[in-house]
Amino acid sequence: MSNNFKEELEWRGLIQDVTNGFDDEINKECVSAYIGFDPTSDSLHIGSLVQLIILRHFQICGHKPIVLVGGATGMIGDPSGKSKERNLLSSEIIEKNILSLKNQLSKFLDFDENKSNSALIVNNYDWNSKLNIIDFFRDFGKLLTVNYMMSKDSVKKRLSSTDVSDGMSFTEFTYQLFQAYDFYYLIQNYNCTIQMGGSDQWGNITSGVELIRKKNGKKAFALTCPLITKSDGSKFGKTEEGNVWLDRKKTSPYKFYQYWLNSSDEDSYKYIKIFTFADKAFIDKLIEDHVQEPHLRKLQRFIAEEITTMVHSKKDLDNVKNASSILFGKNTKEDLSVIDEDTFLDVFNGVPNKKLSKSDFNECNLIEDLIDKTAFFSSKSEVRRLINQNSISINKTKVNSEFKISEINFINDKYILLQKGKKNYFLISLIS
């Protein structure tokens, strides 16, 4: 891995634009840079993961990363990349979201205060809440002309809409100025000379560079990365269920792992450079191996394993890998029982499910009685035929007509996994 931050990002495809003088600034021994995250949710998603990884690269190269949480700007709403104004959140919700985000950030950055380049979290509400609005517009608002602010893509796109209701409110329009002021505040108080972000933030970031130049003549610098896209045209980080989140309560580790595992080859060639910290030689060799044996999906597996461990844990990775092998592997009831209930249900999401009461279950002496109650098969005679053909499994174990079902057969004291042949699964749930 290169010690040069910009070189490291360049070969990984993580640079869109940089301002003049950035190279000289980044070659200094230890500089500070920040990326802002507005707390619009109680979790970051994998689109935000790109920014966290950039900050981590920055710290690995010996520099000091600053995470700005937008307690103030989150109340305004960034118009960048949006066709409509965001719903404004209450201060209570924003504070709750901030606490959740801080917990997530600790997984990616080193906050050890004994180190000179320890990461730092700041909240722009701390200084914006103390601003006098008249003084602010007099001292800073006059430094950025309306013409300059309207020239930014985030503003132009919104103002070009023919639908009056889709226009930009004054609240949104001021966002650019407040973000610029954040950069000014950080360079004044933390000697933070660099702001980074996605390419949709270029206008906001360069406004900060301009504000600093005009206010105190200091030099500030900017870097943006490309917005991640998928080769098939669908939106990165989206599934049928919505965003892929970093919070396990919003996206389970199993679904998180599966998202990366199911990536296309074309996307994976890009993802391994962006979302893992493997070096260039290793990545080039793995891509070469993958091209030779694409059916093994070595590339996707490595990416899924690395990112799941980074975002969640090695224990979670082992759990989801075990769970992922259920559909095709030779698992036992014991294997199934060690999987947590949420993951177990994720694996069999969409599988035909029948709920049985304890009284219904107690009426079943033989396996064919139980299966008959589920209505998964057309008749009892079909059940008998399949059992005689050795085509029925309970909890991954083949059963015969003599098999007697009892509560010891339940997984997590609640579920029985019924299987016909190799690919047809059915789930029986015991209810009180």
What are the pLDDT tens digits along the chain (432 aa)? 457 999 999 999 999 999 999 999 999 999 999 999 988 788 899 999 999 999 999 999 999 999 999 888 877 655 554 444 445 667 788 888 888 888 888 889 999 999 999 999 999 999 999 999 999 999 998 888 777 777 767 677 766 665 655 677 777 778 889 999 999 999 999 999 999 999 989 989 999 999 999 999 999 999 999 999 998 888 898 887 789 999 999 999 999 999 999 999 999 999 999 999 999 999 999 999 999 999 999 999 999 999 999 999 999 998 888 887 776 666 666 777 777 888 888 888 878 888 888 888 888 877 888 888 888 888 888 888 888 898 888 888 888 878 877 777 788 888 888 888 877 888 988 887
- Residue 45 identity: H
Among residues 115, 122, 7, 112, which one has the least CA distance to residue 58? 7
Q: How many structural domains are present in the chain?
A: 3
Query: DSSP letters of 365-398?
Result: -SHHHHHHHHT-SS-HHHHHHHHHTT-EEETTEE
Extended strands (E) in 212-350:
221-225, 238-239, 242-243
How do residues 337-390 score in pLDDT, each as one tens digit? 777 888 888 888 878 888 888 888 888 877 888 888 888 888 888 888 888 898
337 in a structural domain:
no
User: In this structure, are 194 and 304 located in the same domain?
Assistant: no
Can you read off the two tokens belonging to residue 54? Answer: 């950039």
Other Cβ atoms closer than 10 A to 357: 11
User: In this structure, are 192 and 281 located in the same domain?
Assistant: no
Q: How many helices (H) and strands (E) does the chain have?
A: 21, 13
User: In this structure, are 216 and 302 located in the same domain?
Assistant: no
Angle at the Cα of 375 from the Cα atoms of 373 and 381, rounded to 5 degrees: 85
* Cα separation, 396 vs 375, whole angstroms: 20
55 in a structural domain:
yes
* Cα separation, 428 vs 432, whole angstroms: 13
Kindly report the CATH number assigned to the domain that includes residue 84. Answer: 3.40.50.620
* Cα separation, 205 vs 222, whole angstroms: 7
Token pair 């599988």 is at which residue? Answer: 351
User: In this structure, are 70 and 178 located in the same domain?
Assistant: yes
User: In this structure, are 284 and 368 located in the same domain?
Assistant: no
User: In this structure, are 211 and 299 located in the same domain?
Assistant: no
Contact between residue 149 and residue 219 where contact means Cβ atoms under 8 Å apart:
no
151 in a structural domain:
yes
Query: DSSP letters of 83-139?
Result: SSPPPPPPHHHHHHHHHHHHHHHTTTS---TTSTT--EEEETHHHHTT--HHHHHHH
User: In this structure, are 174 and 62 located in the same domain?
Assistant: yes
Contact between residue 222 and residue 195 where contact means Cβ atoms under 8 Å apart:
yes
Other Cβ atoms closer than 10 A to 170: 6
358 in a structural domain:
yes
330 in a structural domain:
no
Please give the order of strands across the beta sheet that includes 353-357. 353-357, 424-431, 415-420, 392-394, 397-398
List of residues 6+ apart from 185 with CB closer than 8 A: 124, 127
- The pLDDT value given to residue 83: 41
> How are beta strands 392-394 and 353-357 bridged, if at all?
unpaired
* Mean pLDDT, the chain, whole residue set: 87
Contact between residue 175 and residue 86 where contact means Cβ atoms under 8 Å apart:
no
* Cα separation, 329 vs 347, whole angstroms: 13
* Cα separation, 25 vs 43, whole angstroms: 32
Angle at the Cα of 212 from the Cα atoms of 208 and 218, rounded to 5 degrees: 135
User: In this structure, are 416 and 383 located in the same domain?
Assistant: yes
How do residues 55-87 score in pLDDT, each as one tens digit? 999 999 999 999 999 888 877 655 554 444 445
247 in a structural domain:
yes
284 in a structural domain:
yes
User: In this structure, are 371 and 415 located in the same domain?
Assistant: yes
Residue at a domain's end among 197, 225, 253: 225
Kindly report the CATH number assigned to the domain that includes residue 410. Answer: 3.10.290.10
Q: CA end-to-end span of the chain, whole Å?
A: 57
Can you read off the two tokens belonging to residue 306? Answer: 């690395």
User: In this structure, are 34 and 99 located in the same domain?
Assistant: yes
- The pLDDT value given to residue 50: 95
User: In this structure, are 289 and 427 located in the same domain?
Assistant: no
* Cα separation, 429 vs 432, whole angstroms: 10
User: In this structure, are 162 and 274 located in the same domain?
Assistant: no
- Residue 170 identity: F
Specify the pTM: 0.83
* Cα separation, 24 vs 193, whole angstroms: 12
Token pair 């045209």 is at which residue? Answer: 233
Residue 359: domain span = 348-431
Angle at the Cα of 46 from the Cα atoms of 275 and 5, rounded to 5 degrees: 40
Strand (E) or helix (H) holding 170: helix 170-173
Q: Which residues are bridge partners to 336 per DSSP?
A: none
Q: Is 192 helix (H, G, I), strand (E, B) or coil?
A: strand
342 in a structural domain:
no
Return the axis-axis angle of helices 298-311 and 265-275, rounded to nearest 10°.
Answer: 40
